[in-house]
Amino acid sequence: MDDKKYEKIVEHTISRSVNIAANKVESLRVSEDLKTVIRVYDGEKVGIAGAIGICDENSLLEQAESKLVQGIPYSGISGSSTVREEVNEVCPIDGNEIVEISRSLVEKLCASYPDFIFSNKINTEQYCEEYENSLDVRYKYQGANVQIGLAIKAKSSANIMDLLYSAVRGSYSEEQVVSDIGALLDVYGNKLEIPEDVPVLIPSDIIELLIPHLVAEKYMAGSSLFNGRLGERIFSDKLNLVVSRKPDNEYNIPFFDREGTVVEGDEFPLINNGTLSGLITYRRSAENLNLPLSGSAAADFDSVPSAGSEGIKLLTSDNSLKELVRGKAIYISVTSGGDMTPAGDFGLPVLLAYVYEDGKLLGTLPEFSLSGNVFDVLGGDLIGIAKNDVFSFADETLIVSKFKINK
């Protein structure tokens, strides 16, 4: 290959999925995916070739090299000899075991909550990703998890679904899952009025509204919500947002991105104590814009890398949820859609919410909507970030803040 450089990524996934329909375990689906991509760099050009399934890697390398004539601009790799491997497989589950786990869980839920219907899926995933390049860099990550996703419907309801319980963990506990779902169903029939002047507990998924505005290219193009504020305090000092690739995660996220970037401590700060301290980058955007790498390169098996959102998470505050909330609060369970204006104003329909107090749910609320401005909700109105102490299996991070409630 003369002075050309290359990098190779191999991704191997084994998934087992149990389908549950109306309280019955109906089927098991097992799938195995193997993807390989090779990128060849010659100066400021890249050639890419990918394959699904078992492939001849020498032939794939030749294909990638032949595509250099397409003239796709991309800077080459850099670095020095490094080898690292991380294994995060706490409890791999085989096909027979997941069927029995699913059947036992459904039986217990049906016995305890005969007025509800349980459907959807329980999955397990074993994942392995390897990265290597011609500079003798070799990385390998292995992980495994259990994914619970149950749609729950009251038998008396005309809705398709009334509740949704979801959790991803590295190991499984039936007792904890039943306890979590019980916390939702035990008080489901207790209909309450919306309390006044109380904080709102909302899953940290709402932070996804901000992610596009943290992408370096959007920021530098002047179309970000945070234009010109890099290095400035924009939110409460209780807010910390990072790109986390720590290998002990439960989502099978490798400690390296799709370009083999590994950041110091496997974590890159985007918002540090309320200050906009970094942007989402990958190799091309970091070089073009003179910014540090955040470890956020994403790519399909045969495409040019771009900015991704894998591993972006909120860090919890020092205080527990009970310490942050003195008295009652509104816990948001199910939302629908939601959008945000260029000024940061947003609206979010709430389909299911509960009254929370002292680690327990007390009852459900009628439908309403939330609104506010992101600079207020995550700024002066932010009380803190904490784990949901109602659940013992689901690992849910909650934003505790003040919102406008529209009845």
Same domain, yes or no, for 201 and 92? no
Same domain, yes or no, for 277 and 129? no
Same domain, yes or no, for 175 and 295? no
Predicted local confidence at residue 1, as pLDDT:
56
Same domain, yes or no, for 199 and 147? no
Predicted local confidence at residue 400, as pLDDT:
97
- Its domain, for residue 21, covers 5-185
- Helix ranges (H only) for 88-173 are 95-112
DSSP string, 27-77: EEEEEEEEEEEEEEEETTEEEEEEEESS--HHHHHHHHHHGGGG-EE----
Predicted local confidence at residue 266, as pLDDT:
97
Residue 160 and residue 314: Cα distance in Å, rounded? 32
- Please list the rounded mean pLDDT of every run of 10 residues in the chain (407 residues): 86 96 95 96 94 95 96 88 89 79 97 97 95 96 94 94 93 95 96 96 90 96 96 97 93 95 97 98 94 95 92 94 96 89 93 96 96 96 96 95 94
Same domain, yes or no, for 153 and 197? no
Same domain, yes or no, for 124 and 164? yes
pTM, 2 dp: 0.94
Residue 175 and residue 112: Cα distance in Å, rounded? 13
Domain end point (choices 170, 185, 200): 185
Task: Give the SS3 label for residue 402.
Answer: coil
* CATH number of the domain encompassing residue 50: 3.30.2290.10
Same domain, yes or no, for 214 and 283? yes
- Counted domains in the chain: 2
Task: Give the SS3 label for residue 181.
Answer: helix
Same domain, yes or no, for 273 and 315? yes
Same domain, yes or no, for 135 and 215? no
Predicted local confidence at residue 89, as pLDDT:
73
Same domain, yes or no, for 230 and 170? no
Predicted local confidence at residue 91, as pLDDT:
63
